[in-house]
Structure 1
Amino acid sequence: MNFKSKLPNVGTTIFSVMSGLATKHHAINLSQGFPDFDSDQKLIDFVSRAMNSGYNHYAPMLGNLELREAIAKKFELLYNTSYHPENEITVTAGATQAIFTIISTFIKPNDEVIIFRPAYDSYQPNIELNGGKAVSVQLQASNNFKVDWNDVKGKITSRTKMIIINTPHNPTGSVFSKEDMLQLENLTRNTSIIVLSDEVYEHMIYDGETHQSACLFPELKLRTFVVASFCKTFHNTGWRIGYCCAPKELMQEFVKVHQFNVFCIHHPTQKGIADYMQEPRHYLDLSDFYQKKRNLFLNLIKDSRFKFTPSKGTYFQVLDYSNITNENDVGFAKRLTIESGIASIPLSVFNTNYLDNKVLRFCFAKTEDTLKRATDILNSI
């Protein structure tokens, strides 16, 4: 009997491997992307109050209406654009569920989906699970991971059904510019290509840059799902709550799968977040909050042997270790964890043919004490 799934044997994720090593060897874990500090107590109190106020049964399938209205107001405030809360916004079990459902809704066998590598690790398995083919565009570390749009153009065929973008970009910390988004809008004009815009780090963008959401570009917005995450924004990755926005015609198709996947999301959490979002500063101040952490991390290692270009977004920083050793990034990351007591993520596992640029990803969503202890180790290497 054959009990194998439709997925290829992708094995244990690098996140599980590195976090497992960090736990086993009591290392500082800067590998997996989670804060080591708590959510705002006010948000926790709002969720508790919602539980005690009776929000303990099914939420509407698309999500608590107050939360959808708060999301709509956020888009109006930040991007001067609108999504209708009744039929263009759906609350999801984290951004990952939204991504899975979008791909499952539209991708059929032999459809092609363009992804940019290094790519978040769920994209390709989700595509292949639905019979599609992931077509990779490799971003180059030597070019600060900027997109070569001629390369993208050359990858578009009659089978291209979707393009997945991620800005700010995990794992590199790069961001798409306005010109990037205009290029994407131009390439998809007069096609039936759907765009999945993974924007979970939209509120973590630095040095005066402006997040170029796909919804800012009218033609692009008409074919795009914008995916976002409250888990990343409000420091509670274990809550698994996010959302996606899209024009009504696209969202109607999404909901056909969503209703038989999770149906609805934890109700009191939705109500609590809806109340918390009434104060926009709770997300507007996030860039300054994380830029200070990035600056502290980089200032503390400025005299180390690692090379870097400051991250433009996310709460990740890529460090080039080519001045230290020529060993492959997976081996070096494991050795740092076991021998030096600090865990990171090697980027080659996200690249085409495991391209090794001698760079590691470190998460700086940590307390000042954690960052100081981590940088003491990095400075000693």
Structure 2
Amino acid sequence: MSLPRQMDLSNKLSRQLSGIPRSGIRDFFELVIGRSDVISLGVGEPDKPTPWPIREAAIRSLEKGQTSYTSNLGLESLRVAISEYVAGQFRVTYDPKTEILVTVGVSEALDLAFRAVLDPGDEVIYHQPCYVSYGPSITMAYGVPVPVNTRLEDNFALRAEDVEKAITPKTKVIALNFPTNPTGAIEPPEELEKIAQLCVKHDLLCFTDEIYSELLYDGGQHKSIVEFPGMRERTVLLHGFSKAFAMTGWRLGYACAPAVLREAMMKIHQYCMLCAPIMSQVAALEALHQGTTVIEPMRQSYEERRNFVVRRLNEMGLSCFNPGGAFYVFPDVSSTGLSGRDFALKLLEEKSVAVVPGNAFGPTGEKCVRCCYATAPDLLVKAMDGMEEFVKSRKVA
């Protein structure tokens, strides 16, 4: 009796997935899992656990048996607190009953926003280098990604004139993320205002990912595009708790949007996720009550680490601008004669220091690597020492 022919599942996969790469961040993360000898500057995650008052709130909720579903929209008390927090942080008000949706991280909120508005062939303009999920998320929503390059000479800020050149009759959305992952760039308010004017002029939607907005340095004050005239009615503001509150594993985000857009996003959310975990929502509520009490000490610590890392990188000959926010640096490693990918692989092999190749964030990052400095200070010192030794051994004339 002959054995049945093995089924070829590759031809059963969605054509929409063809060409979508694995996350370059996660590929390198997989390389270091289980290796106790590696100092990782790879994954964008705070080195400290979630502050104790936030964890304690979740523990108390579990002890009370709060393990049920919540409303699809999220706990009403949390939505009220989000409304108050956003009003203070972004100077824009949203109705917690009709304009706020609690999601499973900002990643889900971004996916919902794209799927809620895009039809096949609709174009989305976004800036590169950028977080790895933007292009794939647009593609999986049947949209067309239209990246606009940012440049080191502009401190990786997005120029409105470059955005305008990319606008076509098919453009539906402009997506922004400032401060930016992977560069730490911030957008000058004058450029942000010009982009807002382009959105109004061309009747475009705007999705703005504000996940790093609390982490600004050198006395910087955050400005969101949603604050400009004509933008609240066409903007989906995306935010969450992962970075500023050190709550990455809680997977809790939110979207603030006009009621029609919020309702469209909720329809998708209720079928694919139902609701965010109740214990994460309770923890997030406590995080908002704590506010700057828990954020500010971490922000100050990151600023000190940024200063140290930028200085060390420039001293060893890796050109690195001083980022205004987030917790990443994006040095140019071409002086070593290596691409960003080769630099990352060899640095991991020879010095057990993990960084992410810059091309994981788009082809404009080919000569760079991303280093996350939300790492324990003593480990940052060791990582910079190892990197300096590596750079000296590879330096070309």
Query: TM-score under structure 2 normalisation?
Result: 0.90
Q: Distance in 2 between matches of 1:126 and 1:109?
A: 13
The residue aligned with 1:243 is: 254
Q: Distance in 1 between matches of 2:220 and 2:376?
A: 24
The residue aligned with 1:363 is: 372
Q: 1:272 to 1:357 in 2, by over 3 A?
A: closer
Note if contact 1:165-1:195 (Cα within 8 Å) is conserved in structure 2: yes
Q: Which amino acid aligns with 2:20?
A: V
Query: TM-score under structure 1 normalisation?
Result: 0.94
Q: 1:235 to 1:280 in 2, by over 3 A?
A: closer
Note if contact 1:316-1:363 (Cα within 8 Å) is conserved in structure 2: yes
Q: Distance in 1 between matches of 2:287 and 2:121?
A: 44
Q: Distance in 1 between matches of 2:201 and 2:157?
A: 25
Q: 1:31 aligns with which of 37, 42, 47?
A: 42
Pair 1:304-2:316 in alignment? yes
Q: Distance in 2 between matches of 1:168 and 1:89?
A: 22
The residue aligned with 2:21 is: 11
Q: Distance in 1 between matches of 2:295 and 2:221?
A: 12
Unaligned 5+ residue runs, structure 2? 1-7, 391-397
Note if contact 1:50-1:269 (Cα within 8 Å) is conserved in structure 2: no
Q: 1:41 aligns with which of 22, 38, 52?
A: 52
Note if contact 1:228-1:244 (Cα within 8 Å) is conserved in structure 2: yes
Compute the displacement of 1:349 (Å): 3.1
Q: Which amino acid aligns with 1:375?
A: M
Q: Which amino acid aligns with 2:136?
A: P
The residue aligned with 1:123 is: 134
Q: 1:139 aligns with which of 136, 150, 157?
A: 150
Note if contact 1:344-1:361 (Cα within 8 Å) is conserved in structure 2: yes
Compute the displacement of 1:302 (Å): 5.2
Q: Higher relative CO (CA 8 A, sep ≥ 6), structure 1 or 2?
A: 1
Note if contact 1:27-1:338 (Cα within 8 Å) is conserved in structure 2: no
The residue aligned with 1:69 is: 80
Aligned with 1:76: secondary structure? helix
Unaligned 5+ residue runs, structure 1? none
Compute the displacement of 1:163 (Å): 0.9
Q: Distance in 2 between matches of 1:207 and 1:59?
A: 40
Q: Distance in 1 between matches of 2:239 and 2:208?
A: 9
Compute the displacement of 1:265 (Å): 0.5
Report runs of 4+ in structure 1 exceeding 4 Å deviation: 299-302
Pair 1:213-2:224 in alignment? yes
**CA deviation vs aligned residue, 1:317-342 (integer Å, no higher than 9, x gap):** 1122233x122111111111111111
**CA deviation vs aligned residue, 1:165-207 (integer Å, no higher than 9, x gap):** 1100111110112112211111011443211101111111111
Pair 1:104-2:115 in alignment? yes
Pair 1:375-2:384 in alignment? yes
Q: Distance in 1 between matches of 2:317 and 2:136?
A: 36
Compute the displacement of 1:135 (Å): 1.0
The residue aligned with 1:318 is: 330
Alignment length (residue pairs):
378
**CA deviation vs aligned residue, 1:293-337 (integer Å, no higher than 9, x gap):** 2123334555322221111111111122233x1221111111111
Pair 1:333-2:336 in alignment? no
Q: Distance in 1 between matches of 2:52 and 2:312?
A: 30
**CA deviation vs aligned residue, 1:267-292 (integer Å, no higher than 9, x gap):** 12211221232232246514323212
Note if contact 1:300-1:372 (Cα within 8 Å) is conserved in structure 2: no
Q: Distance in 2 between matches of 1:161 and 1:46?
A: 41
Q: Which amino acid aligns with 1:159?
A: K
The aligned runs of 1:115-194 (5 Å cut-off) are 115-194=126-205
Q: Distance in 2 between matches of 1:239 and 1:193?
A: 33
Note if contact 1:46-1:273 (Cα within 8 Å) is conserved in structure 2: no
Note if contact 1:167-1:199 (Cα within 8 Å) is conserved in structure 2: yes
Aligned with 1:119: secondary structure? coil
Q: Distance in 2 between matches of 1:200 and 1:276?
A: 14
Note if contact 1:111-1:132 (Cα within 8 Å) is conserved in structure 2: yes
Q: Percent identity, please.
A: 29
The aligned runs of 1:274-293 (5 Å cut-off) are 274-282=285-293, 284-285=295-296, 286-293=298-305
Q: 1:92 to 1:341 in 2, by over 3 A?
A: same
Q: Which amino acid aligns with 1:263?
A: L
Q: 1:128 to 1:304 in 2, by over 3 A?
A: same
Pair 1:51-2:75 in alignment? no
Q: Distance in 2 between matches of 1:127 and 1:272?
A: 31
Q: What is the aligned-residue RMSD (CA, Å)?
A: 1.8
